[in-house]
Amino acid sequence: MMTQALYHEGMEYAEQNFLSEDASHLKVDKQLLRNRFNLDQKLVLDFGCGMGGMSLWYAKTWKCRVHGVDIDRHHIRIANDLKRRHSVENVTFEVRNILDNPLTEKYDFIVLNDVAEHIPLPLLKQMLAAMSMALATRGQVFISYPPWGSPYASHVSHVVGIPWCQFLPQAWLMKLIAKNNRPIVGDEEGDLIAAYKGLNHLTHAKLMAAVEGSGLQCVYRKSHSFLNWLPLMHDLNLRMPLLDYLVTKEFVLLKKQP
């Protein structure tokens, strides 16, 4: 059950993701999407849309239609309430598992923003194949996620106060998480322990293994690191051993194989 306190926390978080161009974990995503894509007149699927902040941002930024789907009913409740609060008409939200209830429309652009790392890898493989079937002729799939070597990939570093904490001895880390554990908005993952345990330790190699056989192929990859904020290093893709632990987010673009 979602308490009023959690509801208001979720609304505040989702609204910030929608309205702020400087939300730290989404700033690079928004810049990259603005610079590389024009979604005007497109049909966009926001897969794993969460509480809808980015879905609403797509709908506000472009003259597009956005369909947000998520398996978490609490997230979709907040997404719909936020949609009504801001009177955004060109977006719809629904609770949906695309494996049980397959997609029927053809989408020009499918986005997985900070969601792929939460899906068990065998299911991610099935879902990518389903998305391939739901793509329009020139459709694209855009995936962003923190790779497992990222300082923030654990999704709990902000509460335990230790970056790269996923590499600590697991018994010790679980005690730290339990000490700082608290409820979070979510019917599927209701606290920090569940959020950490639900991660699939995603890397580029694991993602490409999930893509294999889906009918999709990788046509673009950007590895964003701390060094990209330095002058003259904006376009640097840091993938050297050890230094790649400075990568905070991976961005991948997939298209249908010819």
Q: How far are the Cα atoms of 150, 169, 245, 247 from residue 242, in angstroms, in the given order?
A: 11, 19, 6, 10
**With contact defined as beta carbons under 8 Å apart, do 177 and 160 qualify?**
yes
Once rounded to an integer, what is the mean pLDDT over residues 210-233? Answer: 92
202 has pLDDT over 90 = yes
pLDDT, position 209 = 98
Give 116-152 pLDDT, tens digit per residue. 999 999 999 999 999 999 999 999 999 999 999 999 9
pLDDT, position 19 = 96
Once rounded to an integer, what is the mean pLDDT over residues 79-88? Answer: 98
Give 149-175 pLDDT, tens digit per residue. 999 999 999 999 999 999 999 999 999
Of 234 and 214, which is predicted with more confidence? Answer: 214
Count CA within 13 A, CB hemisphere, residue 213: 7
Q: How far are the Cα atoms of 49, 107, 159, 254 from residue 257, in angstroms, in the given order?
A: 26, 16, 42, 9
Q: What is the pTM of this model?
A: 0.96
Question: Is the sign of the CA dihedral 29, 162, 116, 66 positive or negative?
Answer: negative
Give 96-115 pLDDT, tens digit per residue. 999 999 999 999 999 999 99
* Structure-derived torsion over alpha carbons of residues 191, 193, 194, 195, reported in degrees to the nearest 10: 80
Contact partners, residue 183, CB within 8 Å, separation at least 6: 3, 6, 190, 191
Once rounded to an integer, what is the mean pLDDT over residues 71-98? Answer: 97
pLDDT band at residue 92, thresholds of 50, 70 and 90? Answer: very high
Once rounded to an integer, what is the mean pLDDT over residues 205-215? Answer: 98
pLDDT, position 98 = 97
Q: Pick the closest to residue 96 from 52, 48, 129, 56 (CA basis).
A: 48
pLDDT, position 97 = 97
pLDDT, position 166 = 98
pLDDT, position 23 = 78
pLDDT, position 22 = 85
Rounded Cα distance between 115 and 147, Å, is 12
**Would you give the distance in Å from CA 209 to the centre of its chain?**
19
All structural domains of the chain, each given as residue ranges with its CATH number in brackets, are 4-149+200-256 (3.40.50.150), 157-196 (no CATH)
Once rounded to an integer, what is the mean pLDDT over residues 86-97? Answer: 98
